[in-house]
Structure 1
Amino acid sequence: MAVVYSAVTPEQRVVNNDQQYRLTVYRHARDVALNWLNGWVLVVWLAMSATIVISSQLQATPLLTRLLLLGLTIGAALMIIGIITGCRAAIRCHREVCRLIRVTGDDHEAWKPTFHVLFKHQPAVPDTDCWDDLGQWQLALHNQRGDYYFEDELSNQV
């Protein structure tokens, strides 16, 4: 533990702009929630599979059948509860990430749409200067029938 003394007033100690750090924390929290969701589903599925394999090695009795069905029902219920809980946590964090991306403008790790435009049966290369506000367009494909396929250069950088 360390103690730091400074001549800073309480009003100066308040951080007013921590959105970048919050964005990093919420991105990590969303990833953790999705990892827990995946892990939970995998563990419950493996337990249910092991139950089925073990029960196939035993002598079939009405009691064993009931226990197997009860175990699979409980496993399915646990899986659904885990999916709902994990999805709710991930969605809550994702909404905050989206809000913070809008506030900070930091869309470095965010999904970006790719833009593609296809012209068919054109006598010459179409003029793409009118789309400059949407990005830099690059001719990606051209064939002998006059089909031109353009891609936005930003989609190539992702």
Structure 2
Amino acid sequence: MVYSTVAPKQRVVNNDQQYRLAVYRHARDVALNWLNGWVLVVWLMMSATIVISSQLQATPLLTRLLLLGLALGAGVMVAGIIVGVRTAIRCHREVCRLIRITGDDHETWKPTFHVLFKHQQAAPDTTCWDDLGNWQLALHNQRGDYYYELKTTLSELEITNTLAQRFSKQDFSVVSWLGLYVV
């Protein structure tokens, strides 16, 4: 217990978005792990039921019990999936909101664009474009073609416009994160 002469309005923490982001990211991960574990456990139980029933002599009662158990297992699996997905989506929405507020996107998934620089004398200096995203050289060949992977939240048009300020449009190509090649 800590006693202080601070007024009640001053005791409220207003700048805890970084901590909330970390908590919601962890909660989303836990929800997805529980979802996966739930589906796996119910699936294994249903499989074990089928294997055990195949070892027994088939009777109408056993067949009804087996079908009832499998239907019940499927219902329990669907209910678990619904609860897990709703929880994960709720946490994910809060994570997205907090990322917009804090700008902390270092652990977020970003689409990977593929940028091909053609007929270059040396590897292009990508440090001047660090604000575009995370650049990684994937491969290059003897003809001076350099293939980079760019993880970013920017659009294909924004990347193309930024690169066009330094290179002519014939010297580079941007392949979208969907794998569609732009001519």
1:74 corresponds to which of 66, 72, 75: 72
Question: Helix, strand or coil: the match of 1:134?
Answer: coil
Q: List structure 1 segments (4+ residues) > 2 angstroms apart after TM superposition.
A: 112-115, 126-148, 150-154
- Output the TM-score relative to the length of structure 2: 0.70
Once residues 30 and 54 of structure 1 are traced to their aligned partners in structure 2, the CA distance between those partners, rounded to angstroms, is 36
Do the aligned partners of residues 91 and 9 (structure 1) sit closer, same or farther apart at CA in structure 2, a change above 3 Å counting? same
Task: Give the conservation status (yes or no) of the 8 Å contact 2:115–2:147.
Answer: yes
Once residues 108 and 134 of structure 2 are traced to their aligned partners in structure 1, the CA distance between those partners, rounded to angstroms, is 20
TM-superposed CA distance for 1:13, in Å, is 0.6
RMSD: 2.7
1:24 aligned residue: 22
2:89 aligned residue: 91
- Residue ranges of structure 2 left out of the alignment (5+ in a row): 153-183
Task: Give the conservation status (yes or no) of the 8 Å contact 1:128–1:137.
Answer: no
Once residues 137 and 43 of structure 1 are traced to their aligned partners in structure 2, the CA distance between those partners, rounded to angstroms, is 40
2:120 corresponds to which of 115, 122, 125: 125
Identify, as 1 or 2, the structure richer in helix: 1
TM-superposed CA distance for 1:53, in Å, is 1.2
Do the aligned partners of residues 25 and 146 (structure 1) sit closer, same or farther apart at CA in structure 2, a change above 3 Å counting? closer
2:147 corresponds to which of 113, 137, 149: 149
1:111 aligned residue: 109
1:65 aligned residue: 63
Task: Give the conservation status (yes or no) of the 8 Å contact 2:25–2:91.
Answer: yes
Cα deviations by residue, 1:29-55 (Å, 9 ceiling, x for unpaired): 111111111111111111101111110
- Output the TM-score relative to the length of structure 1: 0.80
Cα deviations by residue, 1:77-122 (Å, 9 ceiling, x for unpaired): 1111111110110011011001101101111221123332125xx5
Question: Helix, strand or coil: the match of 1:116?
Answer: strand
* Letter aligned with residue 90 of structure 2: R
TM-superposed CA distance for 1:4, in Å, is 1.3
- Residue ranges of structure 1 left out of the alignment (5+ in a row): none
* Letter aligned with residue 106 of structure 2: H
Aligned length: 149
